[in-house]
Chains A and B, each alone.
Chain A
Amino acid sequence: MAKPKEAAVTSYKALTYLHLPVIEKDYKPGDPVPVEELEAAGQSEDSINALVEAGSLGGEEDDVHHSHIIPDPSMPTIGSVVENSRRLIAQLEATGEEVPDELRTVAKLDYTALATGDEGKAGDANA
């Protein structure tokens, strides 16, 4: 977010779920967060800047954080696009029609899910 001019800022917009200490108040993504409430919660200019820079607070024109956008259950996945491409190729080939190269490229995509580890490592360094 381009930070609004200092003097003009009277309220921010919550871009994620927020909880202010001291006044113990919750905010949902999209809720206005008045500067006076941030100050009442003991948030210094540095803390407010940190929240802005991290994308937790923004201006009215800013979108809420992408993690709070509920996906449409019917939206295509990589897997469904690849499967549909393969089905379409089979249909085109069965009818003797030309199959575009782009369609073959998509159909060849390897979308196999990967097992991932975690970069973190627990344990006692002094052991």
Chain B
Amino acid sequence: MTQMLNSDTLRHQTVWVCEKWSDEACDFAAKKLERVGITHVPAELREIQTPTRTLLVPRLMPIYEGIPSSVLREIVGEPEECAEIQGNLLLNEGIQRLQDMTMIATVVTNQTATNPWSNANAFTGVGDSNTAEAATQTELQAATNRFYKAQNATYPSRTNQTVSFQSDFTGTEANYAWAEWTISASATTASGAGFTTGTTNLNRKVASLGTKASGTWTLTAQITFS
């Protein structure tokens, strides 16, 4: 039998938005909070295991460790700089996870039907390697400078066919050249309030977003399928 393969196209587009608040803006917000007696602010959500259930509660972050974007927006206003970059490459392991979770009858040994890109399980990762995007990659390509941060509250979210991911990188987090970034399901190897190893990476983008030295940078990825 001769097999005829027609190639249809699954289109996806990704818009990455990087919002940057300077160290001065964070200091201004911290001092303003301190004047009204606030020493900690809610940051990314984390899982708390109780004897009977798993709870998602925000980590209380000292204001001199960092200021999340939600607080900066209220006190300082819009970010001082905003960069928008389009495009990314879906990685094979990310595509396979999407398929495993939605369209297989039975899970076999090289498949998994758990660990989605949920709020508690999705991470935005940033690294400093500009090695080209390749679908077989399974990690950011930076040897050491890479950092995965949990999602902000309410992310990821979906509107129509667009899913948005967002993480805040505060104070001392990911302070190096931002040359690559990714969305990961799960992450390991703890480092501060984040991790250094992504488990199942959905995609990867290489472009320069500048060098973070301090302050709060917020990275948002909007992925649209059509």
* Contact (Cβ within 8 A) A41 B137: no
CB-contacts of A1-36 with B (<8 A):
15-21, 24
Q: When the two chains form their complex, are residues B135 and A16 in contact, meaning their CB atoms are under 8 A apart?
A: yes
> Does chain A have a CB within 8 A of B199?
yes
Binary per-residue interface labels of chain B (134-166) against chain A in the complex, 1 for a CB within 8 Å, 0 otherwise: 111100010000000010000000000000000
A-B contact count (CB 8 A): 125
Chain B stretch 79-114: residues in CB contact (< 8 A) with chain A: 87-89, 92, 106-109, 111-114
User: What residues of chain B lie closer than 8 Å to A125, measured between beta carbons?
Assistant: 190-193, 195
Instruction: With CB as the reference atom, state the residue of chain A lying closest to B46.
Output: A124
CA distance A126 to B92 in the complex (A): 32
Contact assessment for A118 and B107 in the assembled complex, using a CB-CB cutoff below 8 Å: no
A51 to B130, alpha carbons, bound, how many Å?
12
Q: From residue 47 to 83 of chain A, which have CB atoms closer than 8 A to chain B?
A: 47, 50-51, 54-57, 65, 67-68, 70, 72-74
**What residues on B are CB-neighbors of A17 within 8 Å?**
89, 134-135
Which stretch of A84-92, A94-102, A109-117 is in the interface? Answer: A109-117
> Interface stretch among B19-27, B70-78, B180-188?
B180-188
Interface size class of A (residues with CB under 8 A): 35 or more
Question: Assuming A121-B188, A122-B121, A122-B187, is B108 touching A114 (CB within 8 A)?
Answer: yes
Cβ of B199 and Cβ of A118 under 8 Å apart?
yes
Q: Is the CB of A47 within 8 A of B185?
A: no
B87 partner, pick from A18, A24, A114, A123, beta carbons under 8 A: A24
Tell me if B115 is interfacial: C-beta within 8 Å of chain A.
yes
Does A107 count as interface, using CB distance less than 8 angstroms?
Answer: no
Nearest-Cβ distance from residue B13 to partner chain A, whole angstroms: 13
Whether A18 contacts B133 by the Cβ 8 Å rule is: yes
Determine whether the beta carbon of A38 is less than 8 Å from that of B132. yes
Q: Is the CB of A19 within 8 A of B133?
A: yes
Interface residue B200 (Cβ < 8 Å from any Cβ of A) = yes
A residues bordering B, Cβ < 8 Å?
Answer: 15-21, 24, 38, 41-43, 47, 50-51, 54-57, 65, 67-68, 70, 72-74, 113-127
